[in-house]
Chain A
């Protein structure tokens, strides 16, 4: 069946979500990511959601799940490219996606992942 492709770039996994996902596709992605991290020993996962016009609580949980599961397997996850309308809606919905690191672009996301060991946690709660 159709799946969202998981690409490998060195120690990173790159996922671009472009379709209007139905639930099974989302669950399949979760499985695929964890398997690939295991197979390839990836240390970073970059999920590009710049084409997603909707992120509801299910997709939100999926992203949080992927971040959580990857972390347990030794990989950090960054979600990039969230559209403003989506961010505004998620806040209204009540989802803050705590525990999921985010960045404005693929470049910024990769910087976070590659510079991971040094700069530490960026988007999670920063001290004043």
Chain B
């Protein structure tokens, strides 16, 4: 269909400006894109159209000659999706080329109505297929965005806190599935390296249930930390959890567990050779001061 290619390339400027005009009246979010940017994009697409038609023909959009056009449309669609255009807007971007193109075809092929009909049919099939390409691309872009946000959410929900020099705390809120465990492990281990922390307290007060799977996930994290040279202490073990663990026969022999975060912290301090001492002159006057300072250690 070289005639179609010629018709487009010989009338490119006019086609482009008509296309932009049709588009602007159809799509409401015209404010999101600058005029020159739009002009440039349309020009590039028309050039690719010509190339595609010449090499693979207007009906075979999957053909190699259309690779350039498909790629260009996909990337334009993805960037528009990210800008906030809806899939319909983006498809309309392509479809609004129909009117000016058909007007042009009618003008140029006025003398041969049969050939004109054939060309119109090919042209409409071509533009429909290209519009579908944009739809696929814009939907993928959205899906990618959602996945990325989910990942960020996962990461945000497992903050690592430095309690003291060489002692970290990781409070886990919510269920611990295998996807979350990966994130937990990575955040914790990276923090261990970054802060050179020998002790990491994993607080599970906020974990609703601990079954065999959750226990496995926790054990993986503990083993990985151990391999690196850090020790983990599990804290926040509620009475129900303790019962579940025993009933399920989960083996936590090698793991240090504490009911309260404060106990875990005290243990970590002790293990790292530290003690907490109360400062104050009142203690000297107090006959019971000896008793008090011992308890604070």
Contacts and interface: CB of A to CB of B under 8 A. Distances in A.
Instruction: Report A-B touching, CB under 8 Å.
Output: yes
Interface in A43-90: 80, 82-84, 87-88, 90
Contacts of A103: 229
B121 interface: no
Contact of A91 (B227, B230, B257): B227
B227 A104 contact: no
A91 B189 CA distance: 13
Nearest to A102: B229
Interface in B201-232: 220, 223-231
A90 B221 CA distance: 11
B276 interface: no
A87 B228 CA distance: 7
Given A82-B227, A97-B227, A87 B256 contact: no
B109 interface: no
Q: How large is the interface on B (under 10, 10 to 19, 20 to 34, 35 or more residues)?
A: 20 to 34
- Of B225, B228, B231, which is in contact with the most chain A CB atoms at under 10 Å from its CB? B228
Interface stretch (B3-11, B33-41, B190-198): B190-198
B229 A84 contact: no
Given A104-B230, A123-B226, A128 B255 contact: yes
B269 to A, nearest CB: 16
B185 interface: yes
Contact of A104 (B182, B228, B257): B228
A124 B8 CA distance: 76
Contacts of A24: none
A109 B229 CA distance: 9
A104 B229 contact: yes
B224 A128 contact: no
Contacts of A83: 193
Interface string A98-119: 0000111100110000000000
A96 interface: yes
B186 interface: yes
A125 interface: yes
A82 B223 contact: no
Given A105-B196, A126-B256, A87 B231 contact: no
A108 B256 contact: no
A125 B252 CA distance: 12
B196 A102 contact: no
Given A108-B198, A126-B256, A128-B256, A88 B185 contact: yes
A125 B231 CA distance: 10
B97 to A, nearest CB: 49
B177 interface: no
Contact of A87 (B224, B254, B255): B224
B186 A84 contact: yes
A10 B274 CA distance: 29
Interface in B47-78: none
B257 A87 contact: no
B250 to A, nearest CB: 15
Nearest to A101: B229
Nearest to A104: B229
A64 to B, nearest CB: 12
Interface string B222-263: 011111111100000000000000000000001111000000
A84 B256 contact: no
A104 B230 CA distance: 7
25 contacts: A82-B227, A83-B193, A84-B185, A84-B189, A84-B193, A87-B224, A87-B225, A87-B228, A88-B182, A90-B227, A91-B220, A91-B224, A92-B220, A97-B227, A102-B226, A102-B227, A102-B228, A102-B229, A104-B196, A104-B228, A105-B196, A108-B196, A109-B229, A128-B255, A128-B256
Interface of A: 80, 82-84, 87-88, 90-92, 96-97, 102-105, 108-109, 123, 125-126, 128
What 6 A-B pairs have minimum CB-CB distances, sorted nearest first? A84-B189, A103-B229, A102-B229, A87-B224, A104-B229, A87-B227
